[in-house]
Amino acid sequence: MIWANLDSVYFIGVGGIGMSALARYFVSQGKAVAGYDRVSTTLTDQLTREGIDIHFEDRSQLIPGEFRNPDRTLVIYTPAVPEEHQQLNYFRRGGFRVIKRSVALGEVFNTGRGIGVAGTHGKTSISTMLAHILHSSTLGCNAFLGGISKNNSSNLYLDPVSKVIVAEADEYDRSFLTLYPEVAVVSSMDADHLDIYHTEENIRKAFESYISQIREKGKLVHKFELTPAVPDHVERYTYSVEQKEADYHVGDMERIGLGYGFTVVAPHQVFPTIKLQIPGILNVENALAAVAVAHQLGVTPESIALSLSQYQGVERRFDVRVYRENAVYIDDYAHHPTEIKAFLTSVKALFPDKKITGIFQPHLFTRTRDFADEFARSLEMLDELILMEIYPAREEPIPGVTAGMLLEKIRMNEKVLISREQLLRVVKERDPEVLVSMGAGDINQFRGPLKEWFLRR
């Protein structure tokens, strides 16, 4: 392995959800770990408590002395870091091994029985469900997740005995092409990241390249409606909530509280009823993908059903923060029109007679530009919209691409554009019955204050 003879690992962008899982992994391997991030967050606070030295200024003088030996230190960075980053260039000029997060993840993943979960939507929920199922079984697993599992309060599962490694296979920047899975999942192949891919056809080709990297005698599990090219050496299995022709599909289903009880019809058998506590039809679909993989790995239907009945969900994925008769607050990571539509469809199914107010923070100028009309149509599913300014993340502004431009395209009466400083005041003034917050930017910083207000009012 690339780090076998190294003492320390330095992360540039350590507070990212994927980076932090790797940082925790290297701590578990006995390496000294430190890093930089742009802002302090709840996650970076947790990493600090776990023994990771983190600072928030881009100055090479802040790099600890034990991380300054190029022969003993590995440097991992996220592609969101700008090329002019001072610390990144210090390490590059100093002869250090400097690699992207995807390369480091691939090095870990490819040494074990890799289970790669890909898709423009759904991969965090599917991989977290799958990790929980496997961790609860005799098979066990290690898992690198794109969200915080509520079952273990972390984005990392560790099992020193198991050879199974679950990881999200991220399509951004073609990162998933560092992975060579034994089993691959593809949940969706929608147009996204057009700043990288330019066309939907290029995205499809990238996913098919990922599928072509499945190991000999490996397996692919994909949503029934998708039709990717699959090499001859790969076994294919499909899943669907609605399509009975799928290899894994839903039999009987009924509402149980906010969640669903359902049976899974699999090849040659029917599973015992699964009682999924978390809400949303989209999560029933995500569960089907996880069920299919676990079943193909040899986990028994009884074990799968029991573990999913105990599954608590992922932070920021259909995350029910408050649930009372006259006050409901749900937070979700949805930041693409297709995700928003699926999320709001599930919310409206749960609360058909209630007014639904939504907060949305657009993520990236390019995504807002490329899907402005699609965003408008999805957001029109709300009864009332509170729109925030665009969160730029790694991007510079694009002339003419603003939240105001998006607001004009949205055909609804009750809509308002606000700054982040106005958010809490505007929500309190509207006193919503059902509130949902959506976005992949720093809107997550309002989850706590909004929950506290809902509980006090």
* Pair 449, 373 in one domain: yes
* pLDDT score recorded for residue 237: 98
- Note whether residue 287 is domain-resident: yes
Check whether residue 293 and residue 185 sit in a common domain.
yes
Burial code (b: 16+ CB inside 10 Å, e: under 16) for 203-229 equals: bbebbeebbbbbbeebbbbbbbeeebe
Question: Do 288 and 143 fall within a single domain?
Answer: yes
Domain membership of residue 372 (yes or no) is yes
On whether both 74 and 149 belong to a single domain, the answer is no
306 assigned to some structural domain: no
pTM for the complete prediction? 0.91
Residue 337 pLDDT exceeds 90: yes
Same domain, 124 and 192: yes
Backbone angles phi, psi at 96, to 5 degrees: -75, 160
Of the candidates 298, 330, 363, which is a domain's last residue? Answer: 298
Task: Answer yes or no: do 148 and 232 share one domain.
Answer: yes
Listed residues 48, 65, 98: the one ending a domain: 98
d(CA 257, CA 343): 18
Please report the pLDDT score of residue 2 as a whole number: 60
Q: Do both 18 and 51 map to the same domain? A: yes
Q: Residues 58, 114: one domain?
A: no
Exposure of 335 in the CB half-sphere (CA atoms within 13 A): 25
pLDDT digits (tens, 9 = 90+) for 91-140: 999 999 999 999 999 999 999 999 999 998 899 999 999 999 999 999 99
Q: What is the pLDDT of residue 197?
A: 72
In a domain, 57, yes or no: yes
Q: Per the domain annotation, does 265 fall within a domain?
A: no
For residue 357, give the CATH number of its domain.
3.90.190.20
Gap between the Cα atoms of 436 and 353, Å rounded: 15
Do 151 and 289 reside in the same domain of the chain? yes
When pLDDT is averaged across residues 8-37 and rounded to a whole number, the result is: 96
Give the pLDDT score at 191: 65
Of the three residues 60, 76, 98, the one that is the final residue of a domain is 98
Do 290 and 159 lie in a common domain?
Answer: yes
Q: What's the rounded Cα separation, in Å, for the pair 33 and 47?
A: 10
- pLDDT per residue over 379-423, tens digit each? 999 999 999 999 998 789 999 999 999 999 999 999 999 999 999
Is residue 403 a part of any domain in this protein? yes
Q: Which domain holds residue 373?
A: 319-456
| Number of separate domains in the chain | 3
Q: For residue 201, which of 230, 228, 179 has the smallest C-alpha distance? A: 228
Do the Cβ atoms of 340 and 347 come closer than 8 Å? Answer: no
Predicted pLDDT of residue 3: 65
Q: pLDDT at residue 375 above 70?
A: yes
For residues 160 and 21, membership in a common domain is answered with no
65-72 — which CB contacts under 8 Å span 24+ positions?
Answer: 66/7, 66/8, 66/32, 67/8, 67/10, 67/32, 67/34, 68/94, 69/7, 69/8, 70/94, 70/95, 70/96, 70/97, 72/5, 72/6, 72/7, 72/8
- Cβ-Cβ contacts under 8 Å for 13 (sequence gap 6 or more): 19, 35, 36, 37, 38, 77, 78, 80, 81, 101
Indicate which CATH number applies to the domain containing 69: 3.40.50.720
CATH of the domain at 235: 3.40.1190.10
| Percent residues over pLDDT 70 in the chain | 99
pLDDT classification of 194: cutoffs 50, 70, 90 = low
Domain assignment present for residue 305? The answer is no
**pLDDT in the model for residue 271:** 95
Q: Are residues 52 and 148 in the same domain?
A: no
Which pLDDT does position 231 carry in this prediction? 95
pLDDT at position 207: 93
Beta bridge partners of 189: none
Average pLDDT over residues 338-355: 93
pLDDT digits (tens, 9 = 90+) for 201-238: 888 899 999 999 999 999 999 999 998 899 999 999 99
Determine, yes or no, domain membership for 172: yes
